[in-house]
Amino acid sequence: MGDRVNRRWLLAQRAEGAVSETNFRWEETPVPDPQQGQFLVRNLWLSFDPTQIFMVARGDPSAPDEGGIPLGSVMPTIAVSRVVASRHPDFSPGDIVHGHMGWEDYTVTDGQDFTPTYRVPDGVPPNWAIGALGLTGLVAYFGVHEVARPQRGETFVISGAAGGVGSIATQLAKLEGLRVVGIAGSAAKCDWLSREAGADGVINYRSEDVPKRLTELCPDGIDIFFDNSGGPTLDLALERLRAGGRVVLCGATSRYAVRPQPPGPVNYLALVMVNGRMEGLLGRDYLPRRDEAFAALLPLLRAGRLKPKEDVLVGLREAPRGLARLYSGDNVGKQLLRMDEPAGH
């Protein structure tokens, strides 16, 4: 690709606990050329998700190279990108696509990875495509409508309520006529949940007595617990489940960076006593059904009935900070990064 420069972040050392810029190394290389069956994209927007910790964290301290990706690899991510050159029959220059790319200006791919690449529908803003209409939106939509099986009037409690998935799921639950209680970790997040997302009650787990507040806000128990955090909050919800209660296991941000892993939930036998159900939710399983979710979510977004909350950083240099913000709790809503242009480009 001529003399164009590809800026990128490589994994330099495993994270032990918090993620920071020291875990990554900045590099500038020539832009690669696609081979037969591949295409080259210019990345436009990058997504940050809590499970990315599995790619960088050390699992076994006695094995320094053990982890999700090899040291020296480009940090992977989900991105919305523009095709600039193609030797692939299904993609053409100018296509806007959603797929598995990297923390870099340009990525060469064959479109088949953890999440297969697909074209973004015409007229969909790229930030929506990577957020409310990306994996984040799919997880929220199918988690609420299919896994939770909501019935109007039920009590819906959600942890990580102001995060990427949580901020969408909270609003979808309200649209389904549920009574929603959101749990989040700052005054700003709780304020957004009350004013913008329509939550009926909010709990700041950093400053409030969570067991006491759950009892106050859910005096008759919990019908649905949508879990994004795991840990003690899951146990508190289990012991408050009503008959036929459902637990949606979407994430466990309180546990991802902890080594060694703490014990699992203590109150799981509550499921037996109330004939309850606890079910996991993996976003990529729903990618084949993305058109179904698009058809439901896009009209809500365009009508302003669903308000995506986005926390946007600008510039590839900010990528390590974007990931770190997920674990410090600084982000409100979906953490995104809008790419900049290399100097002199």
129-180 residue pLDDT tens = 999 999 999 999 999 999 999 999 999 999 999 999 999 999 999 999 999 9
| Residue 67, pLDDT score | 61
Domain ranges of the chain: 5-131+309-338, 135-284
Mean pLDDT, to the nearest integer, of 262-286? 92
pLDDT tens digit sequence for 106-122: 999 999 988 899 999 99
> Is residue 231 predicted with pLDDT exceeding 70?
yes
> Is residue 57 predicted with pLDDT exceeding 90?
no
- Cα separation, 224 vs 156, whole angstroms: 5
| Residue 258, pLDDT score | 74
Mean pLDDT, to the nearest integer, of 274-287? 94
Q: Is residue 339 within 8 Å of 104, Cβ to Cβ?
A: no
Nearest Cα to Cα of residue 107 among 31, 55, 56: 31
pLDDT band at residue 2 under the 50/70/90 scheme: low
Of 59 and 7, the one with more pLDDT: 7
| Residue 195, pLDDT score | 96
Peptide bond into 308 cis (omega under 30): no
Any idea which of 201-205, 216-220, 245-249, 322-326 has the lowest mean pLDDT? 322-326
Of 52 and 344, the one with more pLDDT: 52
Q: Is residue 178 within 8 Å of 153, Cβ to Cβ?
A: yes
> Is residue 344 predicted with pLDDT exceeding 60?
no
pLDDT band at residue 32 under the 50/70/90 scheme: very high
| Residue 119, pLDDT score | 96
| Residue 59, pLDDT score | 59
pLDDT band at residue 318 under the 50/70/90 scheme: very high
| Residue 1, pLDDT score | 58
Q: Under CATH, which number does the domain 135-284 receive?
A: 3.40.50.720
Q: Is residue 255 within 8 Å of 262, Cβ to Cβ?
A: yes
Q: Does domain 5-131+309-338 have CATH number 3.90.180.10?
A: yes
| Residue 260, pLDDT score | 75
Name 277's Cβ contacts closer than 8 Å, sequence gap at least 6. 245, 246, 247, 271
Q: What's the mean pLDDT when you consider all of the chain?
A: 93
> Is residue 313 predicted with pLDDT exceeding 90?
yes
| Other Cβ atoms closer than 10 A to 93 | 12
Give percent of the chain above pLDDT 90.
Answer: 81
| Residue 54, pLDDT score | 85
What are the residue ranges of helices labelled H in the chain? 53-56, 126-130, 135-142, 164-175, 187-195, 210-217, 232-238, 270-273, 290-302, 319-328
- Cα separation, 28 vs 26, whole angstroms: 7
* Tokens of residue 21, six digits: 């810029």
DSSP code string of 50-74: GGGHHHHB-S-TT-TT-SSS-TTSB
Mean pLDDT, to the nearest integer, of 311-324? 97
